[in-house]
Chains A and B, each alone.
Chain A
Amino acid sequence: MSTSAKYWRGIPQRYRLEAEKCTDCGAQFFPPRVVCSGCGGREFEEIKLDDRGKLLTYTVIRVGPSEFCEQTPYAMGIVELEGGVRMTGQIADVDFDDLEVGLPIKIEFRKIREEGEAGILCYGYKFVPDK
């Protein structure tokens, strides 16, 4: 069984969308990196991502991994936040017929998964339609 360290390490990203920007070329990274894949730079400044964006693509998961069975069917998508960073996540509170490329979304704090009956609860970001 894994410890909760892996989850804990990701808290700044999962809870607060902390990312970083290369001070040389301006490339943004979520999650943060040690070396810029754009220019090889090693200096970064911390940035907080915008909590609004638009849907680039989507699907509805009908057969999910076991930890997500309780939530199926659920929508997932790739979102581009204002500022350009992209991320994958679930789209909550959406009627599947409303899913479309370009759908404006905002980020909400939700429970993502549970580590079994007695393990930790894992939180993070989900997308909800912004209307």
Chain B
Amino acid sequence: MRDVAVIGVGMQKWGELWEKSLRDIFTESAMLAIDDAGVDHIDSMYVGCMTSGLFVGQEHLGSLLADYLGVAPIPALRVESACASGGAAFRQAYFDVASGANDIVLASGVEKMTDVDGAGATYALSTAADAEYEVYHGITFPGLYALLAVAHMHAYGTTREQLAEVSVKNHKNGAKNPLAQYPFEVTVDQVLNSVMIADPLTILDCSPITDGAAGAILCPLDMAKDLSHKAPVKILSSAHATDSIALHSRQDLTWLSAVAKAGEVAYKGAGLTPADIDFVEVHDCFTIAEIAVIEALGFFEKGKGGTGAPSGETAMGGRIPVNPSGGLKSKGHPVGATGIAQIVETVKQLRGDAGERQVEGAKVGMTQNMGGTGGSCVAHILGKV
């Protein structure tokens, strides 16, 4: 396998992009990534997208988007693993390059979520859970994470305020991200007193509905210098793990074993430990998710994830900055694009291009992107060359 580098990233501002279609937002971010890398062509492409069929009534995205990007007839494939679709697309692109099959590959993600109403979006997202044994009974994603939250609070004494602190911290980071959907700060009181969605989670514990896309250009590390003027960022490891998608099937309802497994494989592949990671972009689709993920990735002891945000350990300048980009909470969560946006942020941080939210001296960054309630997880570790 060849060593692989990321030489270009692209992302436009996320939000409710009423005037733009799925193909528009994909193409714009893909062009930004191509231009950032400075390459004159790509050899193949992968698009992470959770459910364009339900959101915009469009499948067969690989070919559609290759056509609109003007790169047909190159091989183009849509990759799906619920909210981890973006991470999974990046991993496929990584394999494509590492295997020697292709040299310049676009890894992208897109989701156009605002063409359906709230009920339609709730339904589309719910398809990431077990349709027959969870969704049939009326569960929603906020509901599933609320079940996880109550179990975590009961088992470890995690508090309602600790959940809120995750939102406060991510909004504080996101306020410095010009591409974020909601670049403003919130207070603990605001989180606690916002509208209840699924007890104990309020709307400010939940990531939003977002239109957005992101792209990254990958190539063999040894060709990076020739292909691009940008400082290459090396993919140190790539990992993917699965678990039951039904939350109730897990022996420990508070433990995300697919995340733990992906983390373990990623650390091993990179020859690193959690202590070697300078910052991490995690999948904080709900505040409790960040708490559970930073435990599973080994940054905090099991049951102690709730202390991360209140203690400042996960803040910028803390022991392990978590979600410098603002995370899904502030930046937005166009599901299929999220995993790629984590790569975009990580590459910017490692290039030293993150502006006001730069993690000082960042050399190694990690991304963690998961589907459903952790039924799938993709993790990557990237390093400055």
In the complex, what residues of B have CB within 8 A of residue A31's CB? 132-133
Q: Contacts A58-B150, A59-B147; is A78 near B138 (CB within 8 Å)?
A: no
In the complex, what residues of A have CB within 8 A of residue B139's CB? 61, 76, 88
In the complex, what residues of B have CB within 8 A of residue A78's CB? 147, 151, 247-248, 253
Q: Contacts A57-B253, A86-B249; is A68 near B138 (CB within 8 Å)?
A: yes
Q: Are A90 and B138 in contact (CB under 8 A)?
A: yes
Does A63 reach chain B (CB closer than 8 Å)?
Answer: yes
In the complex, what residues of B have CB within 8 A of residue A112's CB? 136-138
Q: Are B138 and A57 in contact (CB under 8 A)?
A: no
Q: Are A63 and B137 in contact (CB under 8 A)?
A: no
In the complex, what residues of B have CB within 8 A of residue A59's CB? 143, 146-147, 149-150, 198-201
Closest B-chain residue to A55, C-beta based? B150
In the complex, what residues of A have CB within 8 A of residue B119's CB? 65-66, 69
Does B197 reach chain A (CB closer than 8 Å)?
Answer: yes
Does B140 reach chain A (CB closer than 8 Å)?
Answer: yes
Instruction: Determine which of B138, B150, B195 lies in contact with A101 in the assembled complex, contact meaning CB atoms within 8 Å.
Output: B150
Q: Which of A63, A90, A124, A126 has the most chain B CB within a 10 Å cutoff?
A: A63
> Bound complex: CA of A86 vs CA of B133, how far in Å?
11
Q: Are A63 and B198 in contact (CB under 8 A)?
A: yes
In the complex, what residues of A have CB within 8 A of residue B135's CB? 65
Q: Chain B's nearest CB lies how many Å from the CB of A103?
A: 12
Q: Chain A's nearest CB lies how many Å from the CB of B137?
A: 5
Q: Are B197 and A62 in contact (CB under 8 A)?
A: yes
Number of A-B pairs, beta carbon distance below 8 Å? 101
Interface size on B, residues (CB 8 A): 36
> Bound complex: CA of A87 vs CA of B143, how far in Å?
14
Does B328 reach chain A (CB closer than 8 Å)?
Answer: no
Q: Contacts A56-B253, A78-B147; is A63 near B132 (CB within 8 Å)?
A: no
In the complex, what residues of B have CB within 8 A of residue A74's CB? 138
Closest A-chain residue to B146, C-beta based? A59
Restricting to B148-169, which residues have a CB under 8 Å from any CB of A? 148-151, 154
Does B134 reach chain A (CB closer than 8 Å)?
Answer: yes
Does B246 reach chain A (CB closer than 8 Å)?
Answer: yes
Does B123 reach chain A (CB closer than 8 Å)?
Answer: yes
> Bound complex: CA of A31 vs CA of B134, how far in Å?
12
Q: Contacts A88-B248, A112-B137; is A77 near B147 (CB within 8 Å)?
A: yes
In the complex, what residues of B have CB within 8 A of residue A83's CB? none
Does B173 reach chain A (CB closer than 8 Å)?
Answer: no
Does A60 reach chain B (CB closer than 8 Å)?
Answer: yes
Does B126 reach chain A (CB closer than 8 Å)?
Answer: yes
Q: Can you list 8 A-B contacts with CB-CB less than 8 angstroms, sorted by A residue number? A: A6-B132, A57-B150, A61-B143, A64-B140, A68-B138, A88-B130, A88-B134, A124-B136
Extra contacts besides A60-B198, A66-B119, A77-B147 (12): CB < 8 Å: A57-B151, A57-B253, A59-B147, A59-B200, A63-B118, A63-B122, A65-B122, A65-B138, A71-B138, A88-B134, A124-B137, A126-B137
Using a CB–CB cutoff of 8 Å, the interface residues on chain B facing chain A are: 118-119, 122-123, 126, 130, 132-140, 142-143, 146-151, 154, 195-201, 246-249, 253
